[in-house]
Structure 1
């Protein structure tokens, strides 16, 4: 394998966490590995709701932390929740200075929305449902003006090189279907900020390329993975046959939209005191149950928003329009879709992974903030806070302020993953490791994943299978229902403070292998 050595810090991913960290590291030189052109294909650019922060005088970081703990169903790290919520306001102000056009009132205050499980309106938005895209646009503009940031567009990371427990390189290749031979890029430090795992599921709101590869890459290198079983299913993906499924943002329910079934019945009022604003796991399971009963659940925005949805929520209006739905006059069919992974590469409070010289931020990480069920709009907030924390840690280790740009040329032909194998993996995850799980289904999922993994040697697919294995294995071992993890064969939540799961890929694979004889 060709090798290139640079004094630059290597950042894998090009979403919000990656670019924010790159800006915080300036003038230290970084090279950003971006599978798509900047702003395309990053989960953060697709985020509709906004960033949660206690900006109102009646609210406080303590209230925000309490809501985070309550939503997380017993597995949130309280110290992390306090840290992140205390810093939230600072990052909103920083993004404002960087050019993010947050919605403001006539007297200059931030427009705040209330989302599920929040006790206050504290979600800072941009143009209604454009927060992710507009924050990314501001960060991209700043990154392009920063000489220390080099972006390698059209490249993807597929493997970490580890020596004596420390990361010493990352193999990268072209991200198009030709998939060249990988090049080993050796830098001064490594930050993984490459997204989560939602695309491992057949029904997802995630960009097509976000399929657990970064988590799997770290897992295959030996990193510890935390809370892998906790996958958040967004309750109100639009059920219109698109892949990925368009998202009907939770902010719509914050504005008064209600959930009804084909008979016109509101079903959330009998499920939870907060009805449509119940925690996401509760709403997702209720919608799933309506589907299972053949009652076709729908989101009704007609009375709450009417024609205003078209100006206040332009993304949702666009999705509706291209699917022949007039949301001012018609209901929007919805279904739960894999949306956010609370689990990921285990990090300490400084954003460091269990492997030396490796930091992680954003959805690829598991900091302990989200617990078993992420509080709405805490995802972008966590990415911002830990991007800065990781940048500070890397900066303390790396003092170089200048390095030539990385110059590389890809050669040969690599191993692109088989499209049929990916489709089979995604269907297995939806069918067997989805909204409601049981032991038989999880064991079958592990058997299916092992079979698919053995057929396709491409490193990208191997990374997907590693993450899928970890999700299914930890879900099998957690014999209770907690937060987003629902077991039909263990419907009760065990009493007391739950422990977070920690597992290596070697441990997950050993569990998978031990079950193989029972299923063959």
Structure 2
């Protein structure tokens, strides 16, 4: 059998988006860091984030207002301490990004003073969104990639899947600690071992569990599934945010139309050209995303329509092209001129509000294991994430996790004798069709049964199906060598079960979770917490 390659470091960061790369840069002057990237270093949800990042830069705005808006959007389930912590550290986090070179849009005021252009999005009572045109995530990702590439203490491993965490129980050691991970080298198709004093999960969310998603292919819930198998609790997995406006076109699937377009005055319309959001909420198009997504879902089902339309063509052409150049070019490439025509849109799975439970330092239930970004449940988002708080959470909690990790490194022992991955009893599979079939079945029933609107019967059916799939996949996993598709499917079925079980526990409708059998809200809601049997 081929000798397995082993790597040793101070900190292993699994994930290379805004959270992972920010954490690496904060740690690299004090530690040897390995960053694991599932695909090319730039690829991930950060790259596709359009709108911007929320922070108080306007003298007419306040941290208290940012906190209040977030609490309202979170529909009574935000952790107040996490919201306050995030809002208080938002400006510092943005100033750190600016120092790294992120080119947020600026303008000169009446006195000729250069200021950052702030836009407004759904749920925000003020203009507080820093942005780089309509491609903020791309600007952040490209900037951070350039910074980490030149750092001597950061080793970048691209095209690697994390398979599972290595914990004390797997090593026969006392305590509940994380000591590294088994990883899959996709280029060489072999398993490698990484030992680390601390491990940080920055793997993003799990929206790929749904048939229609705005997320890239890598968003398969890997970190959540690995943490659960290792013994971490998860919370609020029933709250999956469906972005209201994903482009509906066969040549441009998964393409997001930013929230900022509605912030700048775009209207949602039925196929006959009439507006419908004022019928659902006094804030109309600026209502929080869960309300807008349900309204669109309702109108599509009522009318039997394939989509609705987002129309900003009443604004001046120069204004549209200046504010939304990327969307303008993308839509034009498929024959839609947004300065003259409305954009066909549908909701799509977009953001996982729940995740691995952490404290304000990013610590999980397992010592030396951290989670940062969309993979984590910090309590910031509650039952619904407010627009442009997601990249903010990545940067703020990367900073706080880095501070805590630095304090731990000197007193933490690096376990160097880690067992190799055992594949002595497996063979190469000649039935990849099994994975393909199961993959499609999972995403289809999650969309139909655990989507924007749910019922108890749908959830029961989904749970039954996911348990059958898990048995098939586990049998497959035991007998055949791992592959990218197999690893992702294994993780997605685990995350699907967590979403379903969480949804079944919530006997009310709140935020992103809407159950026709329980349409009312409870007087005293609490987070849904699932804890694995250790």
TM-score, scaled relative to structure 1: 0.91
Q: What is the match of residue 165 of structure 2?
A: 160
Residues 61-460 of structure 1: pairs in structure 2 closer than 5 A: 61-106=63-108, 107-126=113-132, 128-163=133-168, 164-175=175-186, 180-241=189-250, 244-293=253-302, 294-295=304-305, 296-306=307-317, 308-399=319-410, 418-456=435-473, 457=477, 458-460=486-488
SS of 2:107 mapped into structure 1: coil
Q: Number of matched residues?
A: 496
SS of 1:186 mapped into structure 2: strand
SS of 2:20 mapped into structure 1: helix
Q: What is the match of residue 502 of structure 1?
A: 529
Give 1:305 shift. Answer: 4.8
Query: After the TM superposition, which segments of 4 or more aligned residues of structure 1 sit over 6 Å from their partners?
Result: 409-417
SS of 2:211 mapped into structure 1: coil
Q: What is the match of residue 487 of structure 1?
A: 515
Q: Find 2:14's aligned residue among 8, 12, 37.
A: 12
Distance of 1:132 and 1:56 partners within structure 2: 22
Where structure 1 has 5 or more consecutive residues not aligned to the other structure, the ranges are 404-408, 508-520
Q: Which moved more, 1:293-302 or 1:72-81?
A: 293-302
Q: What is the match of residue 463 of structure 1?
A: 491
- Contact kept in structure 2, 1:204 and 1:337, CA below 8 Å: yes
Give 1:245 shift. Answer: 1.6
- Contact kept in structure 2, 1:75 and 1:371, CA below 8 Å: yes
- Contact kept in structure 1, 2:245 and 2:346, CA below 8 Å: yes
- Contact kept in structure 2, 1:182 and 1:414, CA below 8 Å: no
SS of 1:218 mapped into structure 2: helix
Give 1:165 shift. Answer: 1.8
Distance of 2:206 and 2:8 partners within structure 1: 30
- Contact kept in structure 2, 1:220 and 1:463, CA below 8 Å: no
Distance of 2:437 and 2:106 partners within structure 1: 47
- Contact kept in structure 1, 2:166 and 2:178, CA below 8 Å: yes
- Contact kept in structure 2, 1:255 and 1:304, CA below 8 Å: no
Q: Which moved more, 1:304-313 or 1:217-226?
A: 304-313
- Contact kept in structure 1, 2:233 and 2:356, CA below 8 Å: yes
- Contact kept in structure 2, 1:180 and 1:414, CA below 8 Å: no
SS of 1:6 mapped into structure 2: strand
Distance of 2:511 and 2:199 partners within structure 1: 32
Give 1:493 shift. Answer: 1.1
Distance of 1:275 and 1:175 partners within structure 2: 47
Q: Which moved more, 1:362-371 or 1:167-176?
A: 167-176
Distance of 1:414 and 1:92 partners within structure 2: 48
- Contact kept in structure 1, 2:268 and 2:275, CA below 8 Å: yes
- Contact kept in structure 1, 2:313 and 2:342, CA below 8 Å: yes
Distance of 2:84 and 2:452 partners within structure 1: 29
- Contact kept in structure 1, 2:13 and 2:200, CA below 8 Å: yes
SS of 1:464 mapped into structure 2: helix
- Contact kept in structure 2, 1:159 and 1:459, CA below 8 Å: no
- Contact kept in structure 1, 2:26 and 2:399, CA below 8 Å: yes
Q: Which moved more, 1:24-33 or 1:322-331?
A: 322-331
Residues 186-223 of structure 1, C-alpha deviations (whole Å, 9 max, x = no match): 11110000110111111100001211121111111111
